[in-house]
Amino acid sequence: MANLWIDLGNTRLKYWLIDEVGRVISADAKQHLSAPAELLMGLTYQFEKYAPNFIGISSVLGNNINAKVADSLAWLNIPFEFVHVDNRHKLMTSEYDPNQLGVDRWLQMLGVVDSGKRQCIVGCGTALTIDLIDHGNHLGGYIFPSIYLQREALFSGTKQISISDGEFDSILQGVTTQDAVHRGILLSIVGAINEISGRHDNYQIIMTGGDASIISQHIHKPVNIRQDLLLSGLMRYFNK
């Protein structure tokens, strides 16, 4: 029997239908426009046709929206469950208060954690996160605005820099304002990752998220890019 895995992020709803041997049968990602419960209601007919054995859900959207999501799924009569952060999970402990650790960030780590390694997990999403794991113990980490959030903040907070859709393609000094903005923002992120990895020399760097390919090429150490970490974390979490 297949299982359905759903990720409700800040801007997108993603889902994967996975068979019993881990193969992806169907997957999609859609903008939910701050109405994920309504979007899910529109997808429930499709989910009913899939007839999954179980639905596992990761959501960063809070209890009120999660309750509406639960109402949207309830009429399918298929067992479902939301992920709850567990800082004493059998695969990974954490120094964090579980109420302060975002479920998407935690699942990314859970999806790749290895008790035999030291790991630096970089999540390149709406927020950029850097987390350090020492042999299965999450030590904590850092949260930055993404390159696009930084650009939006700069444009909204200055009078002389106009909105531009330039490329984040280099960390060399720019000779136009547009290049200087994009290269300065990218350098701030790259510099932070290189600084942290330099302090933790024996940590493997694993990167995930939409901006991983942009950022990884400027990192001093080898980077392992994994775009399936949250899905892997979902599957690991519910493999009880």
Question: Does any domain span residue 36?
Answer: yes
- Among 40, 64, 82, the domain boundary falls at 82
179 phi and psi angles, rounded to 5 deg? -65, -40
Question: Does any domain span residue 90?
Answer: no
Q: Is the distance from CB of 205 to CB of 198 less than 8 angstroms?
A: no
**CA–CA separation, 74 vs 109, rounded Å?**
29
Whole-prediction pTM value?
0.92
**CA–CA separation, 191 vs 33, rounded Å?**
33
- E strand or H helix at 136: none
**pLDDT value for 192:** 97
Question: Does any domain span residue 62?
Answer: yes
Domains identified in the chain, total number: 2
Question: Does any domain span residue 99?
Answer: no
104 classed as catalytic: yes
User: Which of 19, 28, 71, 104 is labelled catalytic?
Assistant: 104
Q: Is the distance from CB of 236 to CB of 111 less than 8 angstroms?
A: yes
Looking at the fold, whether 227 and 118 belong to one and the same domain comes out as yes
Question: Does any domain span residue 42?
Answer: yes
Looking at the fold, whether 119 and 224 belong to one and the same domain comes out as yes
- Among 40, 58, 82, the domain boundary falls at 82
Looking at the fold, whether 119 and 222 belong to one and the same domain comes out as yes
Question: Does any domain span residue 50?
Answer: yes
**CA–CA separation, 239 vs 8, rounded Å?**
20
**pLDDT value for 126:** 86
- Among 36, 61, 82, the domain boundary falls at 82
Report strand pairing: 137-145 vs 127-134: antiparallel
Residue 150 domain boundaries:
114-236
**Residue type for position 126:** T
Looking at the fold, whether 128 and 191 belong to one and the same domain comes out as yes
Looking at the fold, whether 153 and 230 belong to one and the same domain comes out as yes
What's the alpha-carbon Rg for the chain, to the nearest Å?
19
**CA–CA separation, 174 vs 6, rounded Å?**
41
Looking at the fold, whether 168 and 73 belong to one and the same domain comes out as no
3-state SS of the chain: helix, strand, coil percent to 5? 35, 25, 35
Q: Per-block average pLDDT, block size 10, for the chain (240 residues)?
A: 93 93 92 86 90 96 94 94 96 94 97 98 94 98 95 83 81 92 96 97 96 97 95 92
**CA–CA separation, 42 vs 36, rounded Å?**
10
**Residue type for position 187:** L
- E strand or H helix at 1: none
Q: In this structure, what CATH number is given to the domain that contains residue 24?
A: 3.30.420.40
From residue 39, give the alpha-carbon distance in Å to each of 29, 75, 76, 216, 231.
Answer: 11, 15, 15, 33, 20
Residue with tokens 């567990």: 86
**pLDDT value for 163:** 66
Question: Does any domain span residue 87?
Answer: no
Question: Does any domain span residue 89?
Answer: no
Looking at the fold, whether 187 and 123 belong to one and the same domain comes out as yes
**pLDDT value for 240:** 61
| 156 CB-contact burial (10 Å; exposed 0-12 / middle 13-18 / buried 19+) | exposed
Looking at the fold, whether 41 and 143 belong to one and the same domain comes out as no
